[in-house]
């Protein structure tokens, strides 16, 4: 018989809600932004400056094109999303799913499908970082 999953305290539950909002907010914002047709630079529509790495080296940084990719993903334009940043088609739905999972855990007061919330959160962070870096490597070295 499996032992019961531990109850989450009020602070942990509040932190899970805040984390879910922090994950969902960029997707909501991306939906409001018009994607830049160049495949990068959509973040400039928020008044942010161009990326320093692109200006200094003319090369893309690991996250270059991610805002555009997310804006395209929220519109269901997956082929264009892939061209803007290959990790976007994976990260957009994974981000939405993780936000939902965090809210589910917070609402139930127990980790869902796991003994703790730390393991899945850490695993998701590692996978997101790996996907972003792998996409950057593909764009930088594979397409030469």
**Which pair of structure tokens corresponds to residue 58?**
């003319």
**DSSP-assigned states of every residue in 35-47:** PPTTSS-GGGGGT
Q: Range of 134's domain?
A: 10-42+60-142
Instruction: Evaluate whether residue 104 is within a structural domain.
Output: yes
- Does the residue 94 lie in any domain? yes
Contacts of 56-62 with C-beta under 8 Å, sequence gap 24+, read: 59/140, 60/136, 60/139, 60/140, 61/136, 62/132, 62/133, 62/135, 62/136
Is 107 contained in some domain?
Answer: yes
Find the helix or strand (DSSP H, E) in which 132 lies.
Answer: helix 118-137
For residue 131, is it within any domain? yes
pLDDT tens, per residue, the chain with 144 residues: 666 778 999 999 999 999 999 999 999 999 988 888 787 767 777 777 776 655 566 666 777 788 888 999 999 999 999 888 889 999 999 999 999 999 999 999 999 988 899 999 999 999 999 998 888 888 777 655
Per-residue pLDDT at 47: 74
| 2 domain-assigned | no
Domain count, the chain: 1
- Structural domain contains residue 95: yes
Residue 114 in 3-state DSSP?
coil
Let me know if residue 47 belongs to a domain.
no
């Amino acid at each position: 018989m499996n032992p019961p999953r531990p109850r989450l305290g009020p602070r942990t539950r509040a932190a899970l809600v805040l984390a879910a909002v922090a994950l969902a907010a960029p997707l909501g914002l991306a939906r409001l932004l018009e994607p830049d047709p160049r495949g990068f630079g959509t973040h400039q529509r928020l008044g942010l400056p161009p990326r320093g790495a692109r200006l200094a080296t003319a090369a893309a940084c690991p996250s270059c094109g991610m805002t555009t990719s997310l804006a395209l993903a929220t519109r269901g334009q997956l082929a264009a999303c892939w061209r803007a940043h290959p990790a976007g088609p994976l990260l957009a739905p994974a981000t939405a799913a993780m936000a939902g999972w965090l809210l589910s855990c917070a609402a139930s007061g127990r980790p869902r499908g796991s003994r703790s919330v730390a393991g899945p959160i850490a695993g998701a962070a590692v996978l997101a970082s790996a996907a972003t870096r792998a996409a950057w490597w593909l764009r930088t070295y594979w397409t030469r």
